[in-house]
């Protein structure tokens, strides 16, 4: 937003009258802002409506994002939910146990199995999911008829807006014991199969669901990168004798490279979070052995087993490692000259 | 761009390809076919399951039995499953709950987010960098499930619909997208409104918001879809089965294969196909999203891109 020369309120107007620089030459000096000359009190008076506008959102964020951080102290407690109906009162009355919860975690094979599942699912999604939106974007980008483009984009975006409950229900109708696939197999004299409850193939099922739901949505950012390529580059390449494949290799792909690198880095930062809702919904069908990830481990132990201190300890470990990963990923994104999650 | 000389002047149909630059090769038949097949495959992979769900929900019990389960070819359309579901009872109630939560929640989220985004959109305003930092920081960490659960419980929100709205009411990402768009609005316009005596609220309502229709539509859709699709908070914070929104009822009906309360008898006696009922619930869940999102589609890219300009 350009620097405004119009005073924002009486306060600023009065001040501008007094200071000739601000009144006369603010635009001429480019960076010389009138607000810089104002005292804090006057700036507050001038911006109080703006501050008031941000207040509800800030309060919500403080209450639901910052206050619960303090609640992580239950990780160091033998938290007793039955002391009181009120969680805060229970925290105050629960005994401190130091690092006992963490010690228990490290000796728990279920915890390590959850860690392993989380990492396996993350790597599988990275290898099998990540390239698909790029290929789809290249495909869509090569479609020149605007109608075909718009219609297929609308179809590809659609599943992103479905809930996980719906996506999993759809998969059940296709690949479940009573699904279309089993139905077809049985009609041709084979045994029906139920992919939805098979722990051995669960990780591929999860990846397939993610691809079905979000790969189409993932093309948006690549399409934007492709749209920003200067068409003269293609013409120049063609003049130099590059055929369509050479043009793709030397013009299109370099345009995508920064976006690919950035998304890759950010995804690594998010490594410990793999489809919580998606997996939780299928946990019962497949069994925790194959489906338990860190998030569902926390849910199971905390919400279901009421072992709050233990679950909070697992959540805290995950949170701290995730924070580290995100910070590192963001740093790497900056080093690559990208914006990352925030600007430096 | 190169002007096209050799193309004869004609009015292209809406499905026709735009004229091709002279230097570009004609696509080979095999190439076109390959692209067509790949794109059709991708689109069919999405549409085919939805088609089956829709057709089965509209099929009579006889058709479903004949096809041995799910129906692929429509034969004798009937709305019996929908009529049963919408004639009061568990699913009707859940659908009403979901619609209300979505409407109220989206309105609340949008109001708070638009206000906040506008409040932060003026460069040089007092404290806007600090507030931005407070909001941005939440993109890096999450407090964790257990402490959040304990907080919501301590606030006495358990078993109230507020528990489905307040904890997830705003998304910092959406605020950043809105703010990015608002900061792009010409300062001169806002200045002239101010000279005419408009206050901040009036500027937001009469100048900024009408200019931001595209991004407002996108963010409204994002929030609405979020509320419509949410089931986890309800499963955490609601104990009363009668309060459950549609997604949670869908889990019971489709995943756990339970018959809707009050309809078990009709299914047992063969008047109604349990499968058609399940599919009808799924259609109810996907319909609003499938109908609305294509209208907003052309703004997606713009909305997502303004989100990339942060800080």
CA distance B87 to chain A (A): 22
pLDDT score recorded for residue A36: 54
Predicted confidence at residue B1, as pLDDT, reads 42
Q: Are B212 and B205 in contact (CB under 8 A)?
A: no
pLDDT of residue A87: 82
Contact B285, A165 (CB under 8 A): yes
Please list, in sequence order, all residues whose beta carbon lies within 8 angstroms of the beta carbon of residue A208, skipping any fewer than 6 positions away: A171
Rounded mean pLDDT of chain B?
86
Residue B204 DSSP class? I
Residues of A in contact with B125 (CB under 8 A): 35, 43, 47, 50-51
Q: In angstroms, what separates the C-alpha of B152 from chain A's closest C-alpha?
A: 9
Q: Tally A–B CB contacts below 8 A.
A: 327
| Sign of the torsion formed by the C-alpha atoms of A251, A253, A254 and A259 | positive
Backbone φ and ψ of A252, nearest 5°: -70, -50
CA-CA distances (angstroms) from residue B225 to B87, B174, B219, B231? Answer: 25, 13, 10, 12
The answer to whether the CB atoms of A43 and B126 lie below 8 A apart is yes
User: What angle separates helix A202-227 from helix A164-175, to the nearest 10 degrees?
Assistant: 120
Q: What is the DSSP string of A247-300?
A: HIIIIIHHHHHHHHHHHHHHHHHTTT---HHHHHHHHHHH-HHHH--HHHHHHI
Closest residue, chain B, to A245 (C-alpha):
B25
What confidence score (pLDDT) does residue A23 get? 40
- What is the chain A residue with the closest CA to B32? A143
Residue with the bigger pLDDT between A148 and B308: it is A148
Token match 């987010």: residue? Answer: B113
Q: List chain B residues with CB under 8 Å of A293.
A: none
Which residues in chain A have Cβ-Cβ distances shorter than 8 Å to B42? 136, 139, 152, 156, 216
Give the gap in angstroms from C-alpha A289 to the nearest C-alpha of chain B.
20
> What would the two tokens of residue A7 be?
């005073």
pLDDT higher at B268 or B99: B99
Mean pLDDT of B156-174: 94
Average pLDDT of the segment spanning B186-210: 91
CA A154 to chain B, closest CA, distance in angstroms equals: 6
- The pLDDT of residue B67 is 78
Contact B112/A57, CB-based, under 8 Å?
yes
Contact check, Cβ <8 Å, B247/A49 = no
Sequence-distant contacts of B33-37: CB under 8 A, at least 24 apart: B35/A139, B35/A142, B35/A143
Q: What's the pLDDT at A26?
A: 39
State both tokens at A9: 């309120």
- The whole-angstrom distance between residue B122's C-alpha and the CA centroid of its chain comes to 30
pLDDT in tens, A124-154: 999 999 999 999 999 998 888 888 888 999 9
Confidence of residue B281 (pLDDT cuts 50, 70, 90): very high
3-state secondary structure B86-133: CCCCHHHHHHHHHHHHHHHHHHHHHHHHHHHHHHCCCCCCCCHHHHHH
C-alpha gyration radius of chain B: 25
Q: Is B25 near chain A, with CB under 8 Å?
A: yes
Q: Using an 8 Å CB-CB cutoff, list chain B residues near A174.
A: 49, 52
Give the span between the Cα atoms of B288 and B212, in whole angstroms: 23
pLDDT of residue A32: 42
The whole-angstrom distance between B223's CA and the closest CA on chain A is 11
Beta bridge mates, B59: B77
The more confident residue out of B223 and B257 is B223
- Calpha distance A314→A272 (Å, rounded): 12
Q: Hey, is B47 helix, strand or coil? A: helix
Determine whether the interchain pair B191/A4 forms a contact, defined as Cβ–Cβ distance below 8 Å. Answer: yes
Give residue-wise pLDDT tens across range B62-99.
888 887 778 888 888 888 889 888 888 889 999 999 99
Residue B4 confidence (pLDDT) above 90? no
Q: What pLDDT does residue B230 have?
A: 95
DSSP tally for chain A: helices H, then strands E: 19, 0
Taking only the tens place, the pLDDT of each residue in B96-135 is 999 999 999 999 999 999 999 999 998 888 888 999 999 9
Residues B11-45 as b or e (16 or more Cβ within 10 Å = b): eeeeeeeeeeeeeeeebeeeeeeebeeebeebbeb
Provide the pLDDT for residue B2. Answer: 44
| Sign (positive or negative) of CA dihedral B232, B83, B294, B292 | negative
- Would you place residue B306 in the very low, low, confident or very high pLDDT band (cuts 50, 70, 90)? low
With CA atoms as reference, report the closest residue to B310 among A221, A334, A343, A220: A343
Q: Is B39's CB within 8 Å of A8's CB?
A: no
Average pLDDT estimate for B236-258:
89
> At B298, is the pLDDT very low, low, confident or very high (cuts 50, 70, 90)?
confident
8 Å CB contact of B298 and A150: yes
> Which among A157, A164, A295 is the nearest to B293, CB-wise?
A157
- Looking at the complex, does the CB of residue B12 fall below 8 Å from at least one CB of chain A? no
Residues of chain A with pLDDT under 70: 1-37, 337-344
pLDDT, residue A2, reads: 40
Exposed, middle or buried: residue B276 (CB in 10 Å: 0-12, 13-18, 19+)?
A: buried
């Amino acid at each position: 937003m350009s620097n405004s020369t119009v005073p924002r309120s009486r306060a600023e107007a009065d001040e501008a009258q007094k200071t000739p620089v601000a009144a006369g030459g603010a635009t001429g000096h480019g960076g010389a802002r009138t607000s810089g000359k104002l005292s804090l009190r006057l700036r507050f008076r001038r911006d109080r409506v703006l501050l008031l506008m941000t207040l509800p959102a800030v309060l919500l964020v403080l209450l639901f994002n910052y206050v619960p951080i303090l609640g992580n102290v239950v990780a160091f407690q033998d938290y007793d939910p039955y002391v009181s109906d009120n969680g805060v009162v229970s925290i105050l009355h629960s005994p401190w146990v130091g690092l006992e919860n963490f010690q228990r975690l490290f000796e728990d094979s279920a915890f390590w199995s959850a860690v392993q599942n989380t990492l396996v699912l993350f790597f599988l999604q990275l290898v099998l999911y990540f390239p698909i939106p790029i290929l789809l974007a290249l495909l869509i980008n090569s479609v020149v008829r605007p109608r075909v483009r718009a219609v297929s984009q609308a179809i590809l975006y659609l599943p992103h807006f479905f809930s996980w409950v719906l996506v999993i229900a759809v998969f059940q109708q296709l690949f479940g014991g009573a699904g279309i696939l089993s139905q077809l197999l049985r009609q041709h004299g084979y045994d029906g199969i139920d992919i939805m409850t098979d722990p051995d193939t669960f990780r591929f099922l999860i990846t397939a669901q993610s691809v079905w739901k979000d790969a189409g949505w993932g093309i948006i950012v690549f399409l934007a990168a492709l749209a920003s390529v200067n068409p003269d580059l293609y013409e120049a390449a063609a003049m130099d004798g590059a055929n369509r494949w050479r043009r793709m290799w030397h013009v299109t792909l370099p345009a995508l490279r920064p976006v690919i690198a950035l998304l890759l880095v950010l995804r690594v930062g998010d490594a410990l979070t793999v489809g919580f809702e998606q997996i939780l919904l299928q946990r019962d069908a497949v069994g925790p052995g194959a489906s338990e990830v860190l998030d569902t481990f926390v849910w199971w132990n905390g919400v279901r087993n009421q072992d709050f201190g233990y679950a909070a300890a697992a959540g805290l470990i995950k949170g701290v490692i995730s924070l580290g990963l995100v910070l590192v990923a963001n740093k790497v994104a900056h080093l690559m000259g990208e914006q990352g999650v925030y600007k430096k | 761009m190169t002007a096209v000389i050799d193309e004869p002047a004609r009015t292209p149909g809406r499905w026709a390809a735009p004229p091709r630059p002279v230097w570009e090769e004609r696509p080979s038949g095999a190439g076109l076919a390959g692209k067509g097949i790949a794109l059709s495959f991708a689109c069919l992979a999405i549409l085919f399951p939805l088609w089956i769900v829709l057709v089965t929900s509209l099929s009579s019990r006889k058709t479903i039995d004949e096809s041995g389960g799910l129906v692929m070819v429509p034969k004798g359309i009937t709305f019996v499953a929908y009529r049963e579901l919408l004639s009061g009872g568990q699913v009707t109630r859940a659908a009403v709950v979901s619609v209300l939560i979505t409407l109220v929640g989206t309105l609340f989220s949008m109001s708070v987010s638009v206000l906040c985004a506008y409040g932060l959109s003026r460069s040089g305003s007092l404290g806007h960098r600090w507030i931005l930092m407070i909001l941005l920081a939440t993109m890096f960490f999450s407090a964790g499930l257990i402490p959040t659960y304990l907080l919501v419980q301590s606030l006495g929100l358990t078993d109230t619909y507020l528990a489905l709205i307040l904890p997830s009411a705003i998304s910092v990402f959406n605020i950043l997208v809105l703010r990015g768009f608002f900061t792009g609005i010409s300062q001169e316009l806002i200045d002239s409104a101010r000279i005419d005596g408009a206050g901040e609220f009036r500027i937001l309502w009469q100048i900024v918001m009408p200019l931001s229709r595209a991004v407002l539509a996108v963010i409204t859709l994002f929030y609405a879809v979020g509320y419509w699709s949410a089931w986890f908070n309800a499963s955490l914070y609601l104990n009363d089965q009668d309060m459950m929104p549609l997604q949670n009822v869908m889990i019971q009906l489709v995943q756990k294969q339970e018959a809707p309360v009050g309809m078990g008898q009709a299914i047992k006696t063969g008047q109604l196909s349990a499968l058609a009922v399940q599919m009808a619930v799924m259609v109810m869940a996907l319909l609003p999203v499938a109908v609305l999102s294509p209208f907003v589609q052309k703004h997606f890219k713009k909305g997502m891109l303004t989100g990339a300009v942060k800080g």
